[in-house]
Chains A and B, each alone.
Chain A
Amino acid sequence: KQEVTQIPAALSVPEGENLVLNCSFTDSAIYNLQWFRQDPGKGLTSLLLIQSSQREQTSGRLNASLDKSSGRSTLYIAASQPGDSATYLCAVNEYGNKLVFGAGTILRVKS
């Protein structure tokens, strides 16, 4: 059974810092890995999708890497801003569109 773990559970940083969120998964038989953010009371916003054959994806200040063999992914956020404060969720896509989610990292960026 696939299990996804995210570390740390919560993170508080001053504005401008670069930061790394970690995600690990137990079964490497995945289609892709996706990173989402969730704001309070809202749904999920897709940030990056890394296909199983890819090593990384970039979008603006975000960079996500994938090491499928070791079951790890990282989300790097450069020059963090208060607007980045949210819960960040990692999910692996196993079959069809079934996503298995981690518990999330709650990020607070202080101004």
Chain B
Amino acid sequence: KAGVTQTPRYLIKTRGQQVTLSCSPISGHRSVSWYQQTPGQGLQFLFEYFSETQRNKGNFPGRFSGRQFSNSRSEMNVSTLELGDSALYLCASSYGTGNNQPQHFGDGTRLSIL
């Protein structure tokens, strides 16, 4: 069974640009969550999507948004990039939500802002 796939693996952007990251969950998984990982703040929850609906959102500005498609694939978008957005962005998938199922993480997209 294929794992969680995130594309691209690496991305370099400049301040003010926008970026879209993609996540394909494990087949059959309907929940996708996004996290930001930085050396200073550690891992922080961005948002969760289940059956195309945003179920929960972390404490991030509105520049961070996401969506989920009918095949459970998810994208997150960051607009007006800032230097502080440089991070590893991780996606996790799970069969359900709030049902004690483990979450499976992809290898992430490393975003660097110049």
Contacts and interface: CB of A to CB of B under 8 A. Distances in A.
B64 interface: no
A101 B43 contact: yes
Given A43-B90, A101-B43, A104-B42, A96 B106 contact: no
A98 B56 contact: yes
Given A31-B98, A44-B105, A97 B42 contact: no
A43 B90 CA distance: 7
Contacts of A89: 43
A77 B20 CA distance: 39
A97 B43 contact: no
Contact of B103 (A41, A46, A95): A46
A102 B49 CA distance: 23
Interface of B is mostly: strand
B103 A34 contact: yes
A98 B90 CA distance: 13
Interface residues of B, number: 26
Contact of A98 (B33, B106, B107, B108): B33
B31, B35, B100: most-surrounded residue (chain A CB, <10 A): B100
Interface of A is mostly: strand
Interface residues of A, number: 25
A31 B96 CA distance: 13
A97 B58 contact: no
Contacts of A100: 45
Nearest to B103: A97
B50 A46 contact: no
Given A43-B4, A97-B31, 6 more contacts: A43-B105, A44-B92, A96-B48, A96-B50, A97-B92, A99-B43
